Structure 1
Amino acid sequence: MTAVRIALTELRRLTDSTFAKVALVAMVLVPSLYAGLYLYANKDPYAHLDGLPAAVVVQDRGTTLADGQRLQVGDEVASTLVKAHDLDWHEVDAAKAADGLREGDYAFVLVVPETFSADLASSADFTPRRAMLEIDTNDSTNYLAGTIGDRVVEQVQDSVAAQVSRTAAGQLLGGLSTIHAQLGEAATGAGQLATGASDAHAGSTRLRTGSAQLAAGQKDLAAGTAQLSSGAHELSSGLATLDSRTDALPAQTAKLAAGARQVADGNAEVAAAGRRAAAAGSRLTSGLDALDKELPARLAAAGLTDEQVSAVLAETSQLRAPITEANGTLQSTSNDLDRLSTGADQVADGAEQLATASVGLESAIDKAAAGSASLAKGADRLDSGQRKALAGAEQLSSGATALDSGLAKIDTGAATLGTSLADGAAKVPNPTAAQRKAVAQTIGAPVGISSDSLAKAGSYGAGLAPFFLALALWIGGFTLFTRARPLVEEAITSRWAVLPVALGGWLAPVVIGFAQALLTWAVVRFAVGIDMAHPWQMLGFMLLVSMTFMAIIHGLMARLGDSGQFLALILMVVQLVSAGGTFPWQTLPGPLQALHHVLPMSYAVDGLRALAYGGPGLHLGLDVAVLLAWGAGALVLSTAAAHRVHRARRQAFVTGAGGVGAEPVPA
């Protein structure tokens, strides 16, 4: 009998009645119900946390910052939680929260203590305290609710810390901008100070030079005032002598003026006589001129010849020469006398003016003598004052020198200060408002996460799907063999029937296992809606897993009977905790890690993950190889079990206890 015929016979037996058919359908549905319902219930539990009731109790009294700003972080925390709708938050008082937690109305309670805001602001006065949040849970209602509460508290803690850090960073950056601006203003002022100091230094240099020149001038002036004092005394003495000697001057000048006037009058009379003599000489000369013109004609008329006339004219000409010369002398003398008279008049006038002025002069000399005495006294005082001025000028020169030296240092220091402040202002950051906001946000949350996954499940249910699919296929095989026979013993009629019987006992469950795997795959993919990166390859791999698991359970039951079924249950439990379907297998205890590397479900889960998530399939070949090895080993075990039955039947035949169809003992 062939393995296929044995499998078909077994399938007909499993469907020979209505109850059998219903039972078979139920067994086919077991894996899909198990995997489908579990994954449906746990596909994405975190997506429905908005229905989980939680309470927040705000006891925070708030605080006032140094700048007068009111800080009330507790209310902000509560408001943020309620508005986010991540959970079904209720802001209540402490009593109601405690009652609700005890009665199971709230999964957990978040308490913001009274000093929360004050503790957050405590770093400002250098007495830092950690701001604490309290989480109250009740594991008697649900353990995972407390775990979710811990996650919520961590998120709130991170959010508040980021907010506080952003606020502090914003204030710090704003302070840096203020410092930058003030340093810029200080640098500008220092530049102006440097310019003013340079100008002051230049002025002090000029002052030093000028004060030195002033001191030298004051020294020369002191020498001059000393000479002035001496000269003033000499002048006073001379004027006093002049005053005593000019007392008779007015009387003497009056006499001089009278005598001068007499001389002037006499000179005037002499000049008048001279003018009369000159006028007579002029008339004589004029008469001779007229005679010279008439004489030739009159001589000719008298009968003189031309020669006689010329002789007479020659004689008269000689006689006229002394007369002409005398006339010239008279004219010249008359002019001299006129000038003498005029000069005598002027001398007389001057003498009279001198006589008149001598009175004032003598009075002026008196006054000058008195004034020169005062001048001498004043020159003495001037000399004394100048000596003091010289001492002050010398002190001024010394002070100006010291001032110039000090201003030179100030000039250098102001220039250095201006440069240093400008350099400092350039080094102090001056971010814009947008930059301050961006930097504050970065400081508040300095670490970000850039997630790059080679393979991503997408949801909690998808993450568990490979494990529960493998487990469902094992449960399906285990359930199936509650009805299926591992070996059709009556078909073992010869040693050559051992292998077909073993394969036939495995093929019938494999066919049903294929139906289980196909239905489970369809339910998980289409009904539950879990995405698969390689759906068709995954279906093929599930068929391989089903075949392997059927072979293992088949082999155990063929060899051990009902004890093999119990052992299959134990093996399922061991694989359930060692396959690494939930937590990474590296977190398992040492003995379970060793089992992980040996048992087939570990490789079934690994292969299903690679095909479901689309990750690198580096281990897929190993997974297939291990499953095939386990399947082949299980078939060897079931074949050995069939061979054992054959030997037992043959032994029974030898002893006379063989049944119908028993193989005769060979000769």
Structure 2
Amino acid sequence: MPDSSSNPLTLARFELKRFKGPLPRLALVFILLIPLLYGCIYLAGNWDPYGRLDQVPVAIVNEDVPTTVNGKEVHGGQDFVDSLHRKGTFGFVDTDAADAEEGLKSGRYYLVISVPETFSTNLVSGQGDDPTRAQIMLRRNDANGFVIGTITNSAQNSIANAIDETAVSSYFEAVFANLRTIREGMLEAADGAARLDTGLADAHDGSTKLRDGAATAVTGADALATGAAQLSTGAATADDGAGALVTGLTSLSDGADRLKDGSRQVADGTQQLTDTLDPVLGLAAEKLPAIQANLTKVADEAAGLTDLTAQGAGNIATSSKGISDAVDSLVAAHPELADDAAFKRLQTHTSNLATATGEVAQHAGAISTAVDAADQAIRNTGDLSGKAKEAKTKVDALNSGAHQVASGASDLSAGAGTALSGATTLSDGLGDLSTGATQLSTGASTLATGLHTLSDGALTLDDGLAQLSTGATTLATGVADGASKIPVLTEDQEADAVSVLSAPVDVTMEVDNPAHVYGRGLAPMFFSIALWVLGISAFFIMRPVTGRMLAARGSTLRIGLTAWAPLGFVSVVAGWLMLAAAWIGLGLDPVHPWLIILLTTVVALAFSSVAHLMRTWLGFVATAAMLVLLIIQLTAAGGTYPAELLPPFFGAISHFMPMTYSINAFRIAISGGLMTNFVRDIALLLSLFVGCMGLLLFVVHRKRRFTVKDLHPPLG
């Protein structure tokens, strides 16, 4: 019957049963709780650190002074502060600069956000000629903790986003205010353009009339220029005729004066003759020679008077004819003079003069006839007495006619003087008329030239106004259409638009297989570390293999598995306790519950096999080796940073670290992922387990060959 004390299974049970008494059992319980303490308690402290950021006190110092843009007040600093409070990322506290300074030094605040007084002014400066960046100052004190400083440093992104949102919001508030102003201005412009269109249409009608009137005026101006030239020529001719008229009237006046004097002498002579005839008749006999002499004298004087009368009548007739011809020529050349008052007076004087000269001519003719008859009678006197009586009768008639001639000559002289005065006035007036007509002709030519220019300009103006009218119609329509396209927003609509435009894009992150909280992301690494640390700590109270076990009968395979079995069992149970605590206590809630149980079991078996191999092979040195491997794996396994971000050496050895695959498998089991990777990781961990167990059997096989050194170990 074999000795049961040499049975490997009995030895394995004995190894567990030797933990008797309170202290050994407490030590065994401690070993079982190591993964739970390390994996769960440490994990609990890091489960969701960012979930309590709102408890981190951050001071806000707002010194911003609002500004005004387009009549609208912009208070960007307060809007920014309100935005921070709405987001609630940290425990924001509004305070002043002094309190913030003191609080940052003492650790009451972990971060100070300062808004300068020029924030709003600089925020809207982009609408002016000198755009300036708005600034926000952040200040932290790493004496309060570098990690918390790193966390608050991440606030820069949210602060920058809040600033951008505030800046764009302020900008669009100003834009909408400008849009309202622009729309109102465009509506006014549309009304003005419509009025302009109407006015230009009226102006075009007026310019058309102006064009037609200017054309008519050009025709009239040309006719006026021609008439003015003719008037100037006629006025010059009339002026010359008036000069000749003045000359003729001067001669007429002189002749009329001589005629007046001569007729007066004739009248005196005939009076003397009459006065003489009465005594002559009584003294005819004795005074006949004297009478004969006087009669001869009278006859001579009558003859002279006849010649003078004939000459004066001729001069008068010639002058009168010249005056009449000049006046008729002037009227024929310038019919417009017929209405001139001075010219009418001239016509009256010439008419009176013609009448007077006609009467003088008739009287002069009668006198001439009477004088001739008297002369013939005196010269042919036979019976002086009878003839004296007859002469007396004729002399009386002569005397009467001579007095009439004298009276007519006096009237003729006066009329000639008046006519001369009028002719002189007419000559002066016609001189002025000639000068004025010349000026009128020059002015009419200038007027005609100007009216031609006016006509051309009126034509151009008419065409331009037609184009302007068309353009004004297009402008009015375009401005009205443009104004209609500018939206009319209520205050609520404007606020919504500003909100959307200030943050026009909602950036959403769709996460595949989300970890949700920081702790779920760290759990794969902590679970792996905990099960690795268990392999290090377990051998403080457990033995990898005893001498009795090595000396027991049985195969190396049976002895090796029996030696590992207690550690493997403790590791699996400890792993399940850790998983249960995280699942129930922290709310791990893995996506693949059965897979994580399987994975925890596989990792516990694999890592315990590594630890048992190392301790069996190296003895106490294995503890140091396991710690070194743990430190290397903490860096190289990608628990916090992916291999691509690691230094080249750690990135290269990452693929050879057991925890690389346990961490990746735990991630898939907890949060989900590619199942082929999970199968790969499980397969590699099982390969690690099988490999380590194979090496463990090799080491056990070697150790079953005892030496003197093995019988007397340096450390019992």
Question: 2:502 is matched by which residue type in structure 1?
Answer: G
411, 415, 426: which one aligns with 2:466: 411
1:457 Cα deviation from its structure 2 partner: 0.6
May I ask how many residue pairs the two structures share in their alignment?
Answer: 525
Q: Which string of whole-angstrom CA distances, capped at 9 and with x for unpartnered residues, describes residues 589-620 of structure 1?
A: 11111221111111000010011112233411
Relative distance call for 1:196 and 1:39 in structure 2 (3 A) is same
Relative distance call for 1:555 and 1:223 in structure 2 (3 A) is closer
Question: 1:504 is matched by which residue type in structure 2?
Answer: T
1:572 Cα deviation from its structure 2 partner: 1.5
- Contact 1:3-1:504 at 8 Å conserved across structures: yes
Question: 1:473 is matched by which residue type in structure 2?
Answer: L
Q: C-alpha distance in 2, partners of 1:111/1:232? A: 100
Q: C-alpha distance in 1, partners of 2:666/2:710? A: 53
**Structure 1, unaligned stretches of length 5 or more?**
248-373, 659-667
537, 551, 560: which one aligns with 1:502: 560
1:639 Cα deviation from its structure 2 partner: 0.7
Q: Could you tell which deviates more after superposition, 153-162 or 437-446?
A: 437-446
1:186 aligns with 189
- Contact 2:61-2:100 at 8 Å conserved across structures: yes
Relative distance call for 1:90 and 1:216 in structure 2 (3 A) is closer
Q: C-alpha distance in 1, partners of 2:136/2:336? A: 105
- Contact 1:578-1:585 at 8 Å conserved across structures: yes
The equivalences for 1:206-605 within 5 A come to: 206-216=209-219, 230-231=334-335, 392=447, 395-396=450-451, 398-416=453-471, 418-419=473-474, 423=478, 430-433=486-489, 437=495, 440-493=498-551, 497-605=555-663
Question: 1:19 is matched by which residue type in structure 2?
Answer: L
1:80 Cα deviation from its structure 2 partner: 5.3
- Contact 1:36-1:524 at 8 Å conserved across structures: yes
Task: Name the TM-score, length of structure 2 as normaliser.
Answer: 0.64
The equivalences for 1:31-50 within 5 A come to: 31-50=35-54
1:10 aligns with 2:68: no
30, 38, 42: which one aligns with 1:26: 30
1:534 Cα deviation from its structure 2 partner: 1.1
2:294 aligns with none
Q: C-alpha distance in 1, partners of 2:627/2:643? A: 21
1:27 Cα deviation from its structure 2 partner: 1.2
Q: C-alpha distance in 1, partners of 2:48/2:643? A: 23
1:133 aligns with 136
Q: Could you tell which deviates more after superposition, 502-511 or 222-231?
A: 222-231
Question: 2:210 is matched by which residue type in structure 1?
Answer: L
Q: C-alpha distance in 1, partners of 2:535/2:476? A: 85
**Root mean square deviation of aligned Cα:** 4.1
Q: Secondary structure at the match of 2:675?
A: coil
- Contact 1:579-1:602 at 8 Å conserved across structures: yes
Question: 1:57 is matched by which residue type in structure 2?
Answer: V
Relative distance call for 1:86 and 1:244 in structure 2 (3 A) is same
The equivalences for 1:583-662 within 5 A come to: 583-646=641-704, 648-649=705-706
Q: C-alpha distance in 2, partners of 1:130/1:18? A: 72
Relative distance call for 1:550 and 1:415 in structure 2 (3 A) is same
1:163 aligns with 2:219: no
Q: Could you tell which deviates more after superposition, 84-93 or 457-466?
A: 84-93
Q: C-alpha distance in 1, partners of 2:501/2:702? A: 76
1:437 Cα deviation from its structure 2 partner: 4.7
Question: 1:511 is matched by which residue type in structure 2?
Answer: F
1:634 Cα deviation from its structure 2 partner: 0.9
- Contact 2:70-2:178 at 8 Å conserved across structures: no
Question: 2:524 is matched by which residue type in structure 1?
Answer: P
- Contact 2:515-2:521 at 8 Å conserved across structures: yes
Q: C-alpha distance in 2, partners of 1:488/1:11? A: 13
Question: 1:8 is matched by which residue type in structure 2?
Answer: R
1:159 Cα deviation from its structure 2 partner: 1.1
Q: C-alpha distance in 2, partners of 1:484/1:5? A: 16
Q: Could you tell which deviates more after superposition, 544-553 or 506-515?
A: 506-515
**Structure 2, unaligned stretches of length 5 or more?**
1-5, 232-330, 357-425
Q: Secondary structure at the match of 2:61?
A: strand
Relative distance call for 1:432 and 1:10 in structure 2 (3 A) is farther
1:448 Cα deviation from its structure 2 partner: 3.3
Question: 2:455 is matched by which residue type in structure 1?
Answer: A
Relative distance call for 1:137 and 1:625 in structure 2 (3 A) is same
1:55 aligns with 59
Task: Name the TM-score, length of structure 1 as normaliser.
Answer: 0.68
Q: Secondary structure at the match of 2:113?
A: strand
1:471 Cα deviation from its structure 2 partner: 1.1
Q: Could you tell which deviates more after superposition, 542-551 or 588-597?
A: 588-597
Q: Secondary structure at the match of 1:409?
A: helix
2:242 aligns with none
- Contact 2:47-2:520 at 8 Å conserved across structures: yes
- Contact 1:190-1:415 at 8 Å conserved across structures: no
Question: 1:10 is matched by which residue type in structure 2?
Answer: E
1:57 Cα deviation from its structure 2 partner: 3.0
1:84 Cα deviation from its structure 2 partner: 5.8
Question: 1:419 is matched by which residue type in structure 2?
Answer: T
1:588 Cα deviation from its structure 2 partner: 1.3
1:38 Cα deviation from its structure 2 partner: 1.6
Relative distance call for 1:135 and 1:199 in structure 2 (3 A) is closer
1:431 Cα deviation from its structure 2 partner: 3.7
Question: 2:660 is matched by which residue type in structure 1?
Answer: S
Question: 2:129 is matched by which residue type in structure 1?
Answer: F
1:389 Cα deviation from its structure 2 partner: 7.5
Q: Percent identity?
A: 28
- Contact 2:214-2:454 at 8 Å conserved across structures: no
Relative distance call for 1:197 and 1:558 in structure 2 (3 A) is same
Q: Secondary structure at the match of 2:104?
A: helix
- Contact 2:638-2:654 at 8 Å conserved across structures: yes
Q: C-alpha distance in 2, partners of 1:579/1:3? A: 37
Q: Which string of whole-angstrom CA distances, capped at 9 and with x for unpartnered residues, describes residues 349-377 of structure 1?
A: xxxxxxxxxxxxxxxxxxxxxxxxx9xx9
Q: C-alpha distance in 2, partners of 1:206/1:69? A: 52
Q: C-alpha distance in 1, partners of 2:467/2:638? A: 78
Q: Which string of whole-angstrom CA distances, capped at 9 and with x for unpartnered residues, describes residues 425-475 of structure 1?
A: 757862443776555445533553121111111111111111111111112
Relative distance call for 1:418 and 1:633 in structure 2 (3 A) is farther
